[in-house]
Structure 1
Amino acid sequence: MLWETEPVRPLDRRLLHYASAARRFLLIGALLGFAQTVVVIAFAWLLTRAITLAVAGERLSEIVPTLAALAGAIVLRSVLIWLLEVSANRGAALVKSQLRARVMATLAARGPDWVASRQSARLSTVATTGLDALDNYFARYLPQLLLTMIATPILITVMLWQDLASGLTVIIVIPLIPIFMILIGRATQTVQQEQWQALQRLSTSFLDVVGGLGTLKIYGRERRQFVLLRSITEQYRARTMKVLRVSFLSGFVLELAASLSVAIIAVSIGLRLIDGSLLLGVGLFVLLLAPEAFLPVRQVGAQFHSAADGLAAAEELFTILDDDMVLNDTAPTVPKADATAAPADQLGSGTGGLLLAGVTVRRGDTVVIDQLHAHFAFGKLSVLRGVSGVGKSTLVAALLGFVPMSGEVTLGGVAVVSGATRPWLAWAGQRPGLFRGTVAENVALGAAAADPRVITQSLDWAGAADVSPATVLGVNGDGLSGGQAQRVTAARAIYRALVTDCPVVILDEPSSALDVEAEARLLAGLRRLADQGRVVIVVSHRPAVVAAADHVIELLELTHV
Structure 2
Amino acid sequence: MRPLDPRLLTHASAARWFLLVGAVLGLAQTLTVVAFAWFLSQSITLAVGGSSLESLATTVAALAAVVILRAVLVWLLEVAANRGAAAVKSQLRTAVLARLAERGPDWLAGQQSARVATVVTSGLDALDNYFARYLPQLLLTAIATPILVLVMLWQDPASGITVIIVLPLIPVFMILIGQATQVVQRQQWDALQRLSAGFLDVVGGLATLKIFGRDRRQTARLASLTDEYRGRTMKVLRVSFLSGFALELAGSLSVALIAVSIGLRLVDGSLLLGVGLFVLLLAPEAFLPIRQVGAQFHAAADGLAAAEEVFAILDDDEQPDQHLSVGRGDRSDAAAPTGPPTTLSLQAVSVRRGDAAIIDRLSADFAAGQLSVLRGPSGAGKSTLIGAIQGFVPYDGRVLLGTMPVTEDDDRDWLAWAGQRPGLFSGTVSSNVALGARVTDDALVRTSLAWAGAGDLDPALRLGVNGAGLSGGQSQRVAAARAIYRCVATDCPVLVLDEPSSALDTDAENALIDGLRTLAGQGRVVIVVSHRPAFVAAADYVVHLNEVAHV
Match of 2:246 in 1: 253
Match of 1:534 in 2: 524
User: Distance between the aligned counterparts of 2:112 and 2:328, measured in 1?
Assistant: 33
For 1:355, which of 333, 340, 345 is the aligned residue?
345
Q: Which runs of 5+ in 2 are unaligned?
A: none
Moved more, 226-235 or 93-102: 226-235
Within-5 A mapping of 1:339-378: 340-343=333-336, 346=338, 349-351=340-342, 353-378=343-368
In the superposition, relative to structure 1, how do residues 77 and 329 fare at CA in structure 2: closer, same or farther (>3 Å)? Answer: farther
Q: CA deviation at 1:350?
A: 4.5
Tell me the alpha carbon deviations over residues 347-366 of structure 1, each in whole angstroms, 9 at most, x when there is no partner. Answer: x6254x11111111123432
Within-5 A mapping of 1:212-361: 212-328=205-321, 335=328, 340-343=333-336, 346=338, 349-351=340-342, 353-361=343-351
User: Distance between the aligned counterparts of 2:403 and 2:26, measured in 1?
Assistant: 62
Q: CA deviation at 1:67?
A: 0.3
Within-5 A mapping of 1:124-139: 124-139=117-132
For 2:68, which of 62, 72, 75 is the aligned residue?
75
Instruction: Look up the equivalent residue of 2:255 and give its one-letter code.
Output: V
Name the SS for the 1:276 alignment partner.
coil
Contact 1:331 1:401 survives alignment (8 Å): no
In the superposition, relative to structure 1, how do residues 267 and 332 fare at CA in structure 2: closer, same or farther (>3 Å)? Answer: farther
Name the SS for the 1:447 alignment partner.
coil
Q: CA deviation at 1:536?
A: 0.7
Name the SS for the 1:69 alignment partner.
helix
User: Distance between the aligned counterparts of 2:331 and 2:76, measured in 1?
Assistant: 60
Instruction: Look up the equivalent residue of 1:515 and give its one-letter code.
Output: D
Q: CA deviation at 1:262?
A: 0.5
Moved more, 313-322 or 89-98: 313-322
User: Distance between the aligned counterparts of 1:437 and 1:333, measured in 2?
Assistant: 44
User: Distance between the aligned counterparts of 1:389 and 1:236, measured in 2?
Assistant: 38
Please report the TM-score for the alignment, with normalisation by the length of structure 2. 0.96
Match of 2:428 in 1: 438
User: Distance between the aligned counterparts of 1:538 and 1:455, measured in 2?
Assistant: 21
Contact 1:332 1:418 survives alignment (8 Å): no
Match of 1:452 in 2: 442
User: Distance between the aligned counterparts of 2:354 and 2:467, measured in 1?
Assistant: 33
In the superposition, relative to structure 1, how do residues 275 and 268 fare at CA in structure 2: closer, same or farther (>3 Å)? Answer: same
Identity over aligned pairs, percent: 69
In the superposition, relative to structure 1, how do residues 132 and 329 fare at CA in structure 2: closer, same or farther (>3 Å)? Answer: farther
Q: CA deviation at 1:330?
A: 9.5
Contact 1:109 1:330 survives alignment (8 Å): no
Tell me the alpha carbon deviations over residues 466-493 of structure 1, each in whole angstroms, 9 at most, x when there is no partner. Answer: 0111111111111111111111111111
Tell me the alpha carbon deviations over residues 170-225 of structure 1, each in whole angstroms, 9 at most, x when there is no partner. Answer: 00000000100000011011100011111111111111111222222232222322
Contact 2:480 2:500 survives alignment (8 Å): yes
User: Distance between the aligned counterparts of 2:332 and 2:178, measured in 1?
Assistant: 60
Match of 1:409 in 2: 399
Q: CA deviation at 1:319?
A: 1.8
User: Distance between the aligned counterparts of 1:532 and 1:215, measured in 2?
Assistant: 42
Q: CA deviation at 1:449?
A: 1.2
- Pair 1:27-2:17 in alignment: no
Name the SS for the 2:270 alignment partner.
coil
Tell me the alpha carbon deviations over residues 351-388 of structure 1, each in whole angstroms, 9 at most, x when there is no partner. Answer: 4x111111111234321111111111111111111222
Please report the TM-score for the alignment, with normalisation by the length of structure 1. 0.95
In the superposition, relative to structure 1, how do residues 496 and 334 fare at CA in structure 2: closer, same or farther (>3 Å)? Answer: farther
- Pair 1:553-2:547 in alignment: no
Q: CA deviation at 1:78?
A: 0.4
Aligned length: 547
In the superposition, relative to structure 1, how do residues 222 and 334 fare at CA in structure 2: closer, same or farther (>3 Å)? Answer: farther
- Pair 1:462-2:452 in alignment: yes
Instruction: Look up the equivalent residue of 1:46 and give its one-letter code.
Output: F
Match of 1:98 in 2: 91
In the superposition, relative to structure 1, how do residues 415 and 49 fare at CA in structure 2: closer, same or farther (>3 Å)? Answer: same
User: Distance between the aligned counterparts of 1:386 and 1:140, measured in 2?
Assistant: 58
User: Distance between the aligned counterparts of 1:471 and 1:429, measured in 2?
Assistant: 22
User: Distance between the aligned counterparts of 1:377 and 1:336, measured in 2?
Assistant: 24
For 1:485, which of 466, 475, 494 is the aligned residue?
475
- Pair 1:11-2:4 in alignment: yes
- Pair 1:427-2:417 in alignment: yes
Contact 1:383 1:549 survives alignment (8 Å): yes
User: Distance between the aligned counterparts of 2:323 and 2:130, measured in 1?
Assistant: 32
User: Distance between the aligned counterparts of 1:180 and 1:341, measured in 2?
Assistant: 58
Name the SS for the 1:29 alignment partner.
helix
Contact 1:331 1:420 survives alignment (8 Å): no
Q: CA deviation at 1:342?
A: 2.5
Q: CA deviation at 1:341?
A: 3.4
Q: CA deviation at 1:91?
A: 0.5
Q: CA deviation at 1:329?
A: 5.3
Name the SS for the 1:421 alignment partner.
coil
Name the SS for the 2:328 alignment partner.
coil
Q: CA deviation at 1:23?
A: 0.3
Moved more, 23-32 or 205-214: 205-214
Moved more, 270-279 or 356-365: 356-365
Contact 2:330 2:407 survives alignment (8 Å): no
User: Distance between the aligned counterparts of 1:415 and 1:483, measured in 2?
Assistant: 36
User: Distance between the aligned counterparts of 2:208 and 2:449, measured in 1?
Assistant: 32
Instruction: Look up the equivalent residue of 2:266 and give its one-letter code.
Output: L
Backbone CA RMSD of aligned residues: 1.7
User: Distance between the aligned counterparts of 1:41 and 1:243, measured in 2?
Assistant: 36
For 2:57, which of 46, 64, 82 is the aligned residue?
64
User: Distance between the aligned counterparts of 2:223 and 2:345, measured in 1?
Assistant: 56
Tell me the alpha carbon deviations over residues 25-45 of structure 1, each in whole angstroms, 9 at most, x when there is no partner. Answer: 010000000000000000111
- Pair 1:204-2:194 in alignment: no
In the superposition, relative to structure 1, how do residues 250 and 336 fare at CA in structure 2: closer, same or farther (>3 Å)? Answer: closer
In the superposition, relative to structure 1, how do residues 298 and 267 fare at CA in structure 2: closer, same or farther (>3 Å)? Answer: same
For 1:187, which of 180, 190, 193 is the aligned residue?
180
Tell me the alpha carbon deviations over residues 287-327 of structure 1, each in whole angstroms, 9 at most, x when there is no partner. Answer: 11001100111111110111111122222222211214455
Q: Which runs of 5+ in 1 are unaligned?
A: 1-7
Q: CA deviation at 1:336?
A: 6.1
Name the SS for the 1:427 alignment partner.
strand
In the superposition, relative to structure 1, how do residues 89 and 350 fare at CA in structure 2: closer, same or farther (>3 Å)? Answer: closer
In the superposition, relative to structure 1, how do residues 316 and 155 fare at CA in structure 2: closer, same or farther (>3 Å)? Answer: same
User: Distance between the aligned counterparts of 2:320 and 2:202, measured in 1?
Assistant: 34
Contact 2:112 2:197 survives alignment (8 Å): yes
- Pair 1:496-2:486 in alignment: yes
For 1:107, which of 86, 100, 105 is the aligned residue?
100
Match of 1:50 in 2: 43
- Pair 1:388-2:388 in alignment: no
Contact 2:320 2:393 survives alignment (8 Å): no
Q: CA deviation at 1:339?
A: 9.4
Moved more, 166-175 or 466-475: 466-475
